[in-house]
Structure 1
Amino acid sequence: MRLIATLTLLNLLACGALAQEATKKKESKVSDAAAYNFGYNVGMQFATQFGLQAGDINKDDFLAGFIAALSGKDPAVTPQEVETAAMKLQQKVEARTKAIAEKNLAEADAFLEKNKAADGVQTLPSGLQYRVLKSGDGASPTKDSTVTVHYEGKLLDGSVFDSSIAREEPAQFPVTGVIPGWTEALLRMKVGDRYQLFIPPGLAYGAGGRPRIPPNSLLTFEVELLSIK
């Protein structure tokens, strides 16, 4: 099972990290901050790769297994027990993910249907919607271009999931190296343009989602095209 293999790998990595920290600091215990960071990284990987939530696993059993691995002890459960439990957990996560995806898709469709009548919104045959916030007079990119942009991406609830503006550093990438909704919009833009994009799930990350982007999320962006090369 992929879940089991990943847990084994994470335990091995954690052991190595602990050993390096002990050698470097010449201490018998890892600092609280480092220990917290190890735990956070494990939790983050399980959340982003497998869709796990805090209530999906028994925290006491997880900690017991983690400590046993760090201590070089043999597992207290058989491979068969692990496989059965992992299959049940995977089924639970898949059912929850499917329900979220269906809900988000319905909300995205309803939003786009209403939004296409909003002031200044243009709807393309693909389903992509956009509004011109500022017009530039520069050149337009082609599919072979690399662009430099400033952007901010939000979910339908308004929460920001990514922002070059917040990082205070423009992003640079090939026009065809991004999600389809972005590529289609960039090919319509000129240097100096700033667009507001409303990207349907099918032109974004679809049912798979991404870390911080739930499955079938409609994404909104403000994008300013700064330069082309």
Structure 2
Amino acid sequence: MRFFKPTLVAIALVTVMGCQEKAPVEKELVLDTDVQKQAYSLGASIGMYMERNLEEQAKMGIVLDQEIIFQGYKDSLAGKSQIEREDIQAILMSLDQQMKAKQAEAAAAESEASKAEGVAFLAENAKKEGVMVTESGIQYSVITAAEGEKPTAEDTVKVHYKGTFLNGETFDSSYDRGEPAVFPLNRVIPGWTEGVQLMPVGSKYKFTIPSELAYGEAGSPPRIPGNSVLEFEIELLDIQKAEAPAQVGE
């Protein structure tokens, strides 16, 4: 994560925020010209950037006093900063390292919680009527049956799908994008490579994929935490067969 650094652009924002905190605006701001709108937009964009950084730091227990931020800007602009330039850079690097350490700690805790939740969920889900379990541990049920051809790992498939976390939150969906996905079946997570091969064209299955057959301990930051058990509803629309290798001498 990148943190606020005292660049000229960021300082401009601090000035705006500081003035708003310290002195009420006597008249409404007028934004008639392009230059005025550009200036305001620059400040607004930096404000949103700073807000995100300060919020992320606060989540990790690092709360920075905005009044001190404003004062640091004013002192620096007046040439009387209470901290030397070299020390400022070292302090900000330390803040960056501190934040990364806290984020890593939080991610590890979240990963362990996901692992425990996933193990418990898989054990209960396997007991449900209609749920089948493969030798590798993939759980699936048939939503719509079909009698079509089944793909091999070397084929390219055309599918509609929706991926959700165990709490039901959708993290990816071709339905939401309004068009099917097309990809080689051996270029996706192992759970997909194995699971979709069970499906005839025209069928729709629901898969519950253990984390080790999905994105594993590392997850897929920032969207998917480590050790996440994932659920997918997949509709197999078409198969594009892999081309047979050319024979020697042909």
Normalised-by-shorter TM-score class: 0.7 to 0.9
- 1:80 deviates by 2.3
The answer as to 2:180 corresponding to 1:170 is: yes
Match of 1:79 among 85, 89, 107: 89
Q: Which amino acid aligns with 1:93?
A: Q
- 1:155 deviates by 0.5
The 5 Å alignment of 1:1-229 reads 3=1, 6=2, 26-30=34-38, 52=56, 55-56=59-60, 58=63, 78-209=88-219, 210-229=221-240
How many percent of aligned residue pairs carry the same amino acid? 38
Unaligned runs of 5+ in 2: 11-32, 74-83, 241-250
User: In the aligned structure 2, how far is the partner of 1:137 from the partner of 1:30?
Assistant: 60
What is the DSSP-based 3-state SS (H/G/I as helix, E as strand, rest coil) of the residue aligned with 1:92?
A: helix
Identify if the C-alpha distance between structure 1 residues 168 and 12 changes in structure 2 by more than 3 Å, giving closer, same or farther: farther
What is the DSSP-based 3-state SS (H/G/I as helix, E as strand, rest coil) of the residue aligned with 1:131?
A: strand
Q: C-alpha offsets along residues 33-63 of structure 1, whole Å, 9 cap, x if unaligned?
A: 776566667888x7xxxxx5653454666xx
Q: Is the 8 A contact 2:165 2:229 kept in 1?
A: yes
Q: Which amino acid aligns with 1:201?
A: S
Larger Rg: 2
The TM-score, its normalising length taken from structure 2, stands at: 0.68
What is the DSSP-based 3-state SS (H/G/I as helix, E as strand, rest coil) of the residue aligned with 1:223?
A: strand
Aligned length: 207
Identify if the C-alpha distance between structure 1 residues 83 and 214 changes in structure 2 by more than 3 Å, giving closer, same or farther: same
Deviates more, 1:196-205 or 1:79-88: 79-88
User: In the aligned structure 2, how far is the partner of 1:129 from the partner of 1:150?
Assistant: 19
CA RMSD of aligned residues (A): 3.8
Identify if the C-alpha distance between structure 1 residues 41 and 117 changes in structure 2 by more than 3 Å, giving closer, same or farther: farther
| Residue aligning to 1:18 | none
Identify if the C-alpha distance between structure 1 residues 13 and 204 changes in structure 2 by more than 3 Å, giving closer, same or farther: farther
User: In the aligned structure 2, how far is the partner of 1:41 from the partner of 1:145?
Assistant: 44
What is the DSSP-based 3-state SS (H/G/I as helix, E as strand, rest coil) of the residue aligned with 1:78?
A: helix
Identify if the C-alpha distance between structure 1 residues 207 and 228 changes in structure 2 by more than 3 Å, giving closer, same or farther: same
User: In the aligned structure 1, how far is the partner of 2:212 from the partner of 2:51?
Assistant: 29
Unaligned runs of 5+ in 1: 15-24, 47-51, 69-73
User: In the aligned structure 1, how far is the partner of 2:35 from the partner of 2:131?
Assistant: 61
